[in-house]
Amino acid sequence: MNKVNQYIKSEGFANVNKIDITVLVTSITQREVTLETAIYYSKICNEVIIVDEEKPHLSVNDVDKLHKRGIRYFSYNDGSDESLSSTYEKRLIAATHAKSNYVVHSNHDERYTYQGLLASLNELKNKKDLIFCVGQCIAVRKDESGIFFTRSYPNLDGYKNVGNLEQRLYYHSKKYAPLAHYAVWRRESYIHASEKTVTIHNLTPSTTMMEEVIFELAADLTGNSKAIPELFWIRNRINPHIHNSNDTGTHIFKIIEEKLKILFAGADNVKIDIIIKNFCNNSFAFLQTNLLLKTLILVRKKINNMGKKKKITDIDYLLNSHKINYNSDDISNIFRSSRFFM
């Protein structure tokens, strides 16, 4: 069966007005999953762009079939394990080819909801001071007993990052979530933040567990952001989560500090030590080598996990208990669209 045709399933989106967003899907491997994801988005958004690193690249015939569905395909040849610059360069390539004024990047094996995308877009259109916007996130997981669901990134609840540059940076580093990576953006601002990120990772290559914060803080340079209460993002945690590095230790903070010096060159009022301290004490505290701090982190995690021992298999219960707005048809369409969620 044709490579592309085998992933084009029943539509499942009756009478849907497509959203004026370009979805940027980048991949390294798992082309079959990438095609499933792109086809899902092609049913709800005006344009999808794939930047594909896997070889051999798709044939001219397959690329033409995708194009007829509003999916544009670009091959990529320059990936490297020495730096994350290629990760952001692929997204940058996709964004520069986007026709819409609004873009969103998606992992090749995950899903955004129709309602979440539309609500985020409307928020940007109605509030001109916002640069990027995201909704709430849950994860799908699986063990020997079957599928279950968890809340992801609780810091997105009530997240509103507005103010001057220093205020935005300190707020984000203290109440951290990787929202900028997955938010709906104004296209030109996304390109600007991505260009800065690629430049920094090229100048100082490394693959620590904190590399994502460079783009997140480059995003804060572009302006205000927020998270809305709609279900936006369903993470695939059925596949094991793979970090680029298992390295730990406070030297990682030093690496990030050097990159932030480049990022904030000329921004004299920004106190990098405050940002690093916020990371050290909150989301990235597990990188600490201090025994006392590690003990405190373990105790905090144990307390936080006390209420999570019961596996939640009812997605409606999880969403309602966290006061997340959602549409049941959205969720049904997502689960029908990927083998991972079946």
Residue 138: both structure tokens together: 């849950």
Radius of gyration of the chain (CA): 20
Model confidence pLDDT, tens digit, residues 125-171: 999 999 999 999 999 998 888 889 999 999 999 999 999 999 999 99
| Nearest Cα to Cα of residue 173 among 264, 302, 81, 296 | 264
Model confidence pLDDT, tens digit, residues 185-211: 999 999 999 999 999 999 999 888 899
Residue 242 phi/psi, 5° resolution? -110, 120
| Predicted local distance difference test score (pLDDT) of residue 4 | 44
With beta carbons less than 8 A apart as the criterion, state whether 214 and 263 touch: yes
Half-sphere exposure of 121 (CA within 13 A, CB side): 20
Residue 172: both structure tokens together: 């984000």
Interior angle at CA 242, CA 96 and CA 36, nearest 5: 55
- In eight-state DSSP terms, residue 239 is S
How far does the chain reach from its first CA to its final CA, in angstroms? 22
Residue 100: both structure tokens together: 């819409």
pLDDT at 10 over 60: no
Domain ranges of the chain: 111-341
| Nearest Cα to Cα of residue 180 among 215, 139, 228, 154 | 215
- Strand (E) positions, the chain? 19-27, 45-52, 71-75, 102-106, 111-112, 130-143, 146-152, 160-161, 184-186, 224-236
Model confidence pLDDT, tens digit, residues 289-321: 666 665 666 666 565 555 455 789 999 999 999
Model confidence pLDDT, tens digit, residues 32-47: 999 999 999 999 999 9
